[in-house]
Amino acid sequence: MAPLAEPNIITLEIVCGVPRAPGDPYTNEPELQVINLLNVRGFAVQYPDGWTPQFPSMKNGGLWADSALAAGRQLIAGEFGNVTETMTLTASSATIANRLYLKSQLLAFARRAKTFHTDWNEQQPVYLKWHAPDAPCPQYALIYNIDVAEENDAFDVQPVDIMVITIEREPAWRMGVPPGGNPIEWTYFSRNMQRGVDYQYDDMQLDSTASLVTGTANNRHEWTYNAGNPVVAASSKNYVEIPADRIPGDAPALVCAAIRWTGSTPLRRLLMWQSSKELSGVDQIAGTPMASGYIMNAVDMGGGGTPTAGAAATGVNNTAAGPTKQYMGIGLGGLGSVITLTSGDNAGSLNFWWRQLARGRFAVYVRARQTAGAAGDVRLKVTAEEISGPGTFNAAQVVGQFVNIPVTTNVGDYAFVYAGQFTVPFEAKSHVGIDGRGLFLKKYVVNGAIDFRFTFRFENFNAAARTVHMLDAIIVPMDEAFAEFRYDTFTSSAAEQIIVMDNTGYLSRGKPDDIVMRNENSTFNDLFPTNTMEQRGNMPTLLPRTAQRLYFLNAKGGAGSEIISRPNDDMTISVNIVPRCYGVAAL
């Protein structure tokens, strides 16, 4: 439900501090300090010369590749820089003492704005708050610097002072939630809930079931069997969907994602990635729907429950009658024995992938385990191929490196095996056909030929026979956002943990930064503080007005020092956002 537009409020303030949670009887947050810039008896920005809001522009004009030998030039990279706002303030208080006090307060805010970014002791952000005429909500921007210039002579006895202030602020405005503010307040605002009336301090947990988007992310992705045809319906999925209408604004939204995890051992690895690419399309031959995901498996892993073997490596596991099967058992003979599994092959042991649906730059993982021996006895090599003909395949190929398959103690405990990175399609961002119909997506299958495939080659480098259990293959698109979070520094027997990944600034007191924290035992989640986790890569920001998905996969402590992943270790996901805009906020 779209929030009601606020009554005709116009606000322009410089604020220092983080808002208190409404109704909190024992808050440690100090009162907000505010300078009102629309106070005709104090400071006022007055039309027509007061303030013209600026938009951000590319820093230094962007980074370009240019050559006298080539026509035009190519944009390599470009990010928005901070925005410089210039305001003319008129201080027209009746008494000189009052005007002097206001100027002194302004200069104090200028100092605090700088020290928030440079000194450890200052923990209160300074930001601009602007509620434009007819805007649905106030908008905020973190301030980096304020310069103040006096326009009047020191001995001018006129009762009006004019100052020009120059404010350097962050490139995008935050809609509805100030820097350091709790992003769940945007969620409540979007539901027309009033602060302090409809929600209070004890409704503000980051993993609240009232979050903007909630759902369960399975630790697997299964498909409903479709009689050997391309799958179309997921029976489990490792992502939550963010509808387009939940992300207003015109700048990428900041994200706070919380994961509630139930497990007997602590979560040690969490992969999180973002994708706005389409997951399904229409077969251009017959018009039937086709779907694809980022996890390739034998379609049905039996709900991720009891780990029992599927049929032999090249057999078919994706049958309607196979709900109790989970992994593919790969039995290798002695030294030099090789077994390959291929996506979308004639036996249909693994679901299909197409270049247009599975497009992007990917980190490829395989969840697999070796049942005995030592890591490195069996090695895996992944090959990506683009196919342009049936029968003897005409394939363009990219070959990865051999990686070791770890040994794990227990059946059903799979290791995350990183197998390299690939770009699909090989040549461009999208797969366009020479049939002249634009984006190419055809279900033509002859002798298992399908326009793109991964081959997983398992080879035994040991004299003794070896067995591998392969659960699935995961392609993680890293071209939108891909982050890994790790926690290795202790052991825990807590039944539940909460992990919060935040780039809204709530956990960093407003500083633009990625922070990830965890604590144990959700029974006490509001009684115990959190510990930081290691983050590799960058957290996502959500594209405005675009449907997208946030994906999750986890691994935990296994027997001994193993780090293993089980397909039935589901996660409860709660997502809140701070939408952003470059101009005036609009829903």
Partner 1 sequence: MSGVLHTLNLYQKPKLGSGFLTRYPVFGYKHRILAMGGFDTASCQLAVDRKVGEQAIEQWIGNRVAVYAQNAAIPIWEGLISRIIWKSGAAVFTASIDEMFNKVRVTYSQRNATPNTQLTTPVSNTTSQGIFGIKEGNIDSYGNNSTSADITAKTTLANRYLATRAYPKVSTAFGSSSANDLLSVEMVGFYKTLEWETLDPGALAGAATPSAWFGFWFVTAGASRFSNLATFFDNTDQTQIATNATFNYIPASGQTYWNNVIAATDPGDGTNRYVAAMTPTDPNTGTRRLYYQPANTAVEYTLSTRRDVGRVRTVYGAPVPPWEVRPDRSVRVMDVLTGWNLTGDDPREFYTEAVNYDAESQTVSLQSADNIELEGALQLDNYLKPIGTRFGPAPRTVY
Which residues in this chain contact partner 1 in the complex, by CB under 8 A?
A: 58, 63, 65-67, 69-70, 74-80, 118-120, 271, 361, 363, 365, 375-376, 396, 398, 403-404, 406, 415-418, 421, 423, 425-428, 476, 478-479, 482-484, 486, 488-489, 514, 534-538
* CA 475 to each of CA 200, 206, 419, 574: distance values in angstroms, whole numbers, following the listed order: 42, 29, 10, 24
Quick one: 189 or 552, whose CB is closer to partner 1? 552
> What is the distance between the alpha carbons of residues 174 and 67, in angstroms, rounded to a whole number?
39
Q: Coil, helix or strand for 400?
A: coil
Strands 289-291 and 403-404: unpaired
CB of 334 to partner 1, least distance (A): 18
Quick one: 129 or 359, whose CB is closer to partner 1? 359
Question: Within its chain, how far is the Cα of 272 from the centroid?
Answer: 6
CB of 118 to partner 1, least distance (A): 6
CB of 34 to partner 1, least distance (A): 26
> What is the distance between the alpha carbons of residues 255 and 186, in angstroms, rounded to a whole number?
11
Quick one: 63 or 286, whose CB is closer to partner 1? 63
Quick one: 62 or 243, whose CB is closer to partner 1? 62
Quick one: 106 or 533, whose CB is closer to partner 1? 533
> What is the distance between the alpha carbons of residues 510 and 493, in angstroms, rounded to a whole number?
33
> What is the distance between the alpha carbons of residues 383 and 197, in angstroms, rounded to a whole number?
58
* CA 238 to each of CA 205, 498, 553: distance values in angstroms, whole numbers, following the listed order: 23, 18, 7
* Cβ atoms within 10 Å, residue 543: 17
Quick one: 96 or 396, whose CB is closer to partner 1? 396
> What is the distance between the alpha carbons of residues 89 and 114, in angstroms, rounded to a whole number?
21
- The residues near 557 (Cβ < 8 Å, ≥ 6 apart) are 265, 266, 268, 491, 563, 564
* CB distance 14 to 109 below 8 Å: yes
* Cβ atoms within 10 Å, residue 306: 12
Nearest to 14 by CA among 179, 134, 228: 179
Question: Within its chain, how far is the Cα of 343 from the centroid?
Answer: 28
Quick one: 39 or 115, whose CB is closer to partner 1? 115
Quick one: 261 or 365, whose CB is closer to partner 1? 365
CB of 75 to partner 1, least distance (A): 7
Nearest to 125 by CA among 204, 55, 36, 32: 32
CB of 516 to partner 1, least distance (A): 10
Nearest to 375 by CA among 265, 468, 457, 269: 468
CB of 225 to partner 1, least distance (A): 31
CB of 531 to partner 1, least distance (A): 11
CB of 418 to partner 1, least distance (A): 4
Residue holding tokens 């952003």? 580
Quick one: 120 or 155, whose CB is closer to partner 1? 120
Quick one: 305 or 433, whose CB is closer to partner 1? 433
Tally of residues, the chain: 587
Quick one: 283 or 479, whose CB is closer to partner 1? 479
CB of 416 to partner 1, least distance (A): 7
Quick one: 91 or 481, whose CB is closer to partner 1? 481
Q: How far from each other are the two terminal CA atoms of the chain, in whole angstroms? A: 11
Question: Is the preceding peptide bond at 425 cis, omega within 30 degrees of 0?
Answer: yes
Per the structure block, which two tokens stand in for 410? 């227990």
Nearest to 269 by CA among 414, 130, 142: 414
Quick one: 416 or 506, whose CB is closer to partner 1? 416
* CB distance 349 to 313 below 8 Å: yes
> What is the distance between the alpha carbons of residues 545 and 560, in angstroms, rounded to a whole number?
46
Nearest to 419 by CA among 454, 451, 377: 454
CB of 342 to partner 1, least distance (A): 20
Buried b / exposed e over 560-587, threshold 16 CB at 10 Å, is eebbbbbbbbbbbbbbbbbbbbbbbbee
HEC secondary structure over 174-191: EECCCCCCCCHHHHHHHC
CB of 57 to partner 1, least distance (A): 11
CB of 513 to partner 1, least distance (A): 8
* Cβ atoms within 10 Å, residue 76: 10
CB of 415 to partner 1, least distance (A): 7
Quick one: 188 or 458, whose CB is closer to partner 1? 458
CB of 379 to partner 1, least distance (A): 9
